[in-house]
Structure formats: structure tokens, C-alpha cells
Amino acid sequence: MTSGLKDSYYIMKRDLIRMTRQKMPLIGAVVRPILWLFFLGTGLKFGFIALPLVGINWQQYIFPGIIAMNVLFSGVMSGATIVWDREFGFLKEITIAPIPRWSIILGKVLSGTIIAGCQGVLVLAVYPLLGISLGFLQLAQTLLAIFFIAMAVTAVGVLLAARIRTLEGFGAVNNFVVMPVFFLSGALHPLSNIPDWLKILIYFNPFSYAVDLLRVILLGLDGDPVLDILTIVLFTNVIFLSALYLFAQRRQYYP
């Protein structure tokens, strides 16, 4: 067990070293929320109907959703590192090393969580520019929530990587998984006055609970943080165990 945890640590460490040597994902992590928050957010703030909430403007309203979005993009796409490792032989290299399969999955989830969490924190850092004031406790709770959500979405990326075998295939995840999950989370609009079918989809989307959790902490809006946390914990466990199962399967290997 201890040895497996050490193996996970080294897998995580390697991924983090590799990450620091890539500029594009970092640039993307900074540019993406700027576009959403300051371009879309400003447009909504000045050119759209008033929010049915007192004391909160559109920019502030979508802020928790944009943090969650940055975490979601980065976390799910961290699965691409597994596909990359598979394409370029490193996964084969560690698969034949004397380390348990679960340590590979755990290492990947940990590295993805740290990277996705940091990208969420990058967005959080702009809260003073939006006129939001946060106390120390709120900040600490938000940081915890961000890394907690990062672990859940990274587990999804790892699960997808268990089955998607090419980088091209993983690219499609952005369109078919990340975007629908984001748009069906209520990150950009309140749930009042929307059609029932959309409301049902949002309620069944685990990511909605991540957005809600951040909204409750950052904006003090009504919500159920206990339900949010329980949903995310249950979801993370199911996804992590499913990923473990898929990776542990001894499949036929095609060179």
C-alpha cells in the first residue's frame, strides 16, 4: 500500500514537471476565463435583462460558474495525458513496471487535481475586480471546494482515457462532454423561469452541484451545500472506481 502510494506520488510528480514545461495550456487557462468573465460577463451585465437577485450583477453571478468551468476543462482534459502517454509509449513503460494499476490511476488523478485546482484558483484571484469581497473563511472554503471539484472532474477525464485511445478522439470530448456538462449546470443563468425539461437535465448533472457549492460559498446565495458535497463525493467515488475497474481489466493489447 505504502509502496503504491509512493508510485502514485512519482507519477504525479512527473506529470507536474511536464506541465510546467508547457506554455499553451497555461495560456489557455488564463485566456478562457477572461473571455467568459470580462467579455460575456460585461455584455450580460450591461446589455441584458436584470438578474432576479438583489445586489448581484451578471458578472458576479457567473463568476462561480466560470471558476468551475476552468476546473472542468482542465480536469477532464487531464485525461489526455494518459492518452498521450499511451500513444508515446510511457503508459506501456509503467504498465510493465512492478507497480499496481491503482497507483497509476491515483497518480494521474492527483496530478490532474492539482493542475485543474490551480487553474480554478487563477480565476478566483480576480474576485476583487468584480466587486466581490471575501473573508478568510470564505476564501479557505472556496479553495477547498475548488480542489474537491477538481478531483471529481479529473476522475472523469481519467475514466474517459481508459477507453479513448487517440488524442484526436480525446479532442472530441471537449464538444461532447465538457460543453454539454457546462451548459447544463446552470453556470450561466438562474434556474427560475427556465423550461422544466432543462431544469430536470440540470438537476441530473452532477456538475450543477459543483457550481451550486461555489455559488453558495462565494455569493452567499441560497443552496444546499451538504447535498452538493454528498453528490460530488458519491460521483467522484463511482467514477474513480469505474476508472480503476477499466484500467485493471486485462485487455488484449494490439501493438
Partner 1 sequence: MISVERVSHSFHGYPALKNLSFSVSPGECFGLLGPNGAGKSTLINILVTLLQPDSGSVTINGWPLATEAAKIRSSIGVIFQDSSLDERLTAYENLYFHAMFYHVPPREASQRITALLAMVGLADRSNDRVITFSGGMKRRLEIARSILHQPQLLLLDEATVGLDTQARRRIWDYIASLRQDYPLTILLTTHYLEEAEICDRIAILDHGAVIACDTPARLKEIHGQKTLDDLFLHLTGRDLQDSETGELERLKAALRVRRIK
What residue ranges bind partner 1 (CB under 8 A)?
3, 6-7, 10, 13-14, 17-18, 21-22, 88-90, 92-99, 165-166, 168-169, 250, 252-255
Distance CA 249, CA 255 (A): 17
Min separation Cβ 2 and partner 1, Å:
11
Min separation Cβ 164 and partner 1, Å:
10
Q: How far is CA 208 from CA 123, 227, 228, in A?
A: 18, 11, 8
Phi/psi region, residue 233 (left: phi>0; alpha: psi -120 to 50; beta: rest), is alpha
Min separation Cβ 87 and partner 1, Å:
10
CB nearer to partner 1: pick between 52 and 255: 255
C-alpha neighbours within 13 Å on the C-beta side of residue 90: 12
Residue 198: CB partners within 8 Å, gap ≥ 6?
Answer: 184
Min separation Cβ 155 and partner 1, Å:
22
Residue with cell 446552470: 186
CB nearer to partner 1: pick between 109 and 149: 109
Min separation Cβ 239 and partner 1, Å:
23
Instruction: State CA 136 to chain mean position distance.
Output: 24
Q: Are 34 and 42 in contact (CB under 8 A)?
A: no
CB nearer to partner 1: pick between 204 and 254: 254
CB nearer to partner 1: pick between 84 and 147: 84
CB nearer to partner 1: pick between 47 and 255: 255
